[in-house]
Amino acid sequence: MNATTETLANQTLARPNFDVDKIRADFPILSREVYGKPLVFLDSAASAMKPRQVVDTIRDVYENDYSNVHRGIHYLSQRCTDRFEAARETVARFLKVKDSDNLIFTKGATEGLNLVAQCYARSTLKPGDEILISELEHHSNIVPWQMVAQATGAVIKAIPILDDGQIDLEAYLALLNERTKIVAITQVSNALGTVTPLAQMIPAAHAVGAKVVVDGCQATPHMALDLPAMDCDFFAFSGHKVYGPNGIGVLYGKPELLAAMPPYQGGGEMIDFVSITESTYKDAPHKFEAGTPPIVEAIALGTAIDYVTEIGLEAIAAHEHDLVEYAMDQLAQIPEVTLHGTAPGKASIVSFTWKGAHAHDVGTIIDRAGVAVRVGHHCAQPLMDRLGVASTARASFGMYNTRAEVDRLVRSLDDVRTIFA
Ligand code: PMP
């Protein structure tokens, strides 16, 4: 590292209210060691660590307020139901959604996307209708559409990307036609960090009468969101990527679409009336939440959202943007490294390959230096095919990462050079 980058690495960026040391103190796991080295956790895109406040909420609910929700008249049941529904309100404020009834608790983005595919698409698509999905998509936003296409005779078409990982907007606009019924698109690529141009894509889809399903999994931890302004028809995310617990996610749907959709799971608490042969259903969101929901997880998701909101998504985005730029800059100086995905304005993710070494070897070697990155196809095999690689190493940043950790990543790659020299 030269003197200039050393100075940059130590620079404290002037951002009011953003104190990375204070944030790190809320995440005890970040202070642990692995293989005798301080952990550098660069795998938040797979799942983010949880602040103490989220863990405290989980303990607090189980120790003080736990009961099943929506089905008891006793004190604790009502208390827990209030906390559960308050979490739905918190999510609504987070996404700027006016009516929290348009938010369904799921077990994650995968379940949300499958719910749209099975409850909306399956009952509306006809043979020859077209579903557009981009080459950037996570398997969760590919496979459910394949299942629906097979069941309905609809056809899947790929929205191509440019070599730097951006959506090919011209090609997208050319693909849209009156047969296009669904555009399923990620807001941020989990493998490359590309932010997709939804402001152009969504109105263009609506102009041909298509509905837009946004996979917001990698967006929610990294940028301020406003779903009414975005005007998507559906939006899914997972709690565990936004510093909340596992096993909880949220699906937003426009009210008229949710009202018309049949549920795909039947069971307790989603019905108004049941006889042996037929039932009537509650309105959304309850008709899509059959059975006992992930109660404590939903409440703790509310705490996670309060946590990031308090710090401020704009401040988080600015901090992470700085880390991405710094990491790209450092990695670009290493001759053996090829960066994949260099779209402008990328969010929080840097993907790379090492000349002559498999990504799994790179990941294993730097793991021994305490640096945790994800290696593989990142559940995005069509994207890997498009890039012409089998796998990449991916460093993904959360609000708790630092430039000094980027330096540790860069230094750990010296070990890869030594071994593969
Ligand atoms: N979409 C994207 C872009 C993702 O990154 C992920 C998680 N890697 C998913 C969907 C699926 O999320 P989950 O496994 O939490 O359902």
Does any ligand 1 atom lie closer than 6 A to the CB of residue 187? no
H helices, E strands: number in the chain: 16, 17
Cα 105 → chain centroid: 15
Does any ligand 1 atom lie closer than 6 A to the CB of residue 110? yes
Q: Find the 415 Cα to ligand 1 centroid distance in Å.
A: 31
Does any ligand 1 atom lie closer than 6 A to the CB of residue 216? no
* Distance separating alpha carbons of residues 312 and 36, to the nearest angstrom: 34
DSSP string of 201-237? HHHHHHHTT-EEEEE-TTTTTTS---HHHHT-SEEEE
| Run of H or E residues at 144 | helix 143-152
pLDDT for 4: 40
pLDDT for 72: 80
Does any ligand 1 atom lie closer than 6 A to the CB of residue 238? yes
* Distance separating alpha carbons of residues 35 and 372, to the nearest angstrom: 12
User: Pairing between strand 180-186 and 33-34?
Assistant: unpaired
> What architecture is domain 54-310?
3-Layer(aba) Sandwich (3.40)
pLDDT for 71: 80
Residue owning the nearest CA to atom 12 of ligand 1: 109
pLDDT for 10: 40
With tokens 């894509």, the residue in question is 201
* Distance separating alpha carbons of residues 17 and 397, to the nearest angstrom: 19
Q: Where in the chain is the domain with CATH 3.90.1150.10?
A: 3-51+313-420
DSSP 196: P
Contact assessment for residue 391 and residue 56, using Cβ atoms and an 8 Å cutoff: no
| Ligand 1, pocket-test mutation among 190, 223, 234, 251, most atoms within 8 A of CB | 190
* Distance separating alpha carbons of residues 146 and 153, to the nearest angstrom: 10
* Distance separating alpha carbons of residues 347 and 339, to the nearest angstrom: 15
Does any ligand 1 atom lie closer than 6 A to the CB of residue 236? no
Phi, psi of 209, deg, nearest 5:
85, 10
Contact assessment for residue 16 and residue 369, using Cβ atoms and an 8 Å cutoff: no
Residues of the chain with pLDDT under 50: 1-14
> What digits encode the pLDDT tens for the residues 145-154?
999 999 999 9
For domain 3-51+313-420, the CATH superfamily is Aspartate Aminotransferase, domain 1 (3.90.1150.10)
Does any ligand 1 atom lie closer than 6 A to the CB of residue 190? yes
| Ligand 1, pocket-test mutation among 187, 248, 379, 381, most atoms within 8 A of CB | 379
With tokens 């209030």, the residue in question is 82
User: Pairing between strand 211-215 and 234-238?
Assistant: parallel
Does any ligand 1 atom lie closer than 6 A to the CB of residue 138? yes
Q: Find the 14 Cα to ligand 1 centroid distance in Å.
A: 32
Pick the atom of ligand 1 nearest to 140's CA: 10
Pick the atom of ligand 1 nearest to 246's CA: 15
Q: By three-state DSSP, how is residue 128 classified?
A: coil
Pick the atom of ligand 1 nearest to 238's CA: 15
Cα separations in angstroms, 223 against 27, 67, 136, 174, 400:
21, 34, 19, 29, 15
Q: Would you name the residues annotated as active-site residues? A: 379
Q: Where in the chain is the domain with CATH 3.40.640.10?
A: 54-310
Pick the atom of ligand 1 nearest to 378's CA: 8
Does any ligand 1 atom lie closer than 6 A to the CB of residue 140? yes
Residue owning the nearest CA to atom 5 of ligand 1: 190
| Ligand 1, pocket-test mutation among 141, 142, 223, 238, most atoms within 8 A of CB | 238
pLDDT for 15: 59
Q: Find the 367 Cα to ligand 1 centroid distance in Å.
A: 23
Does any ligand 1 atom lie closer than 6 A to the CB of residue 341? no
Pick the atom of ligand 1 nearest to 112's CA: 16
Closest by CA to 91, choosing from 225, 261, 256, 263, is: 225
* Distance separating alpha carbons of residues 90 and 182, to the nearest angstrom: 29
Contact assessment for residue 263 and residue 315, using Cβ atoms and an 8 Å cutoff: no
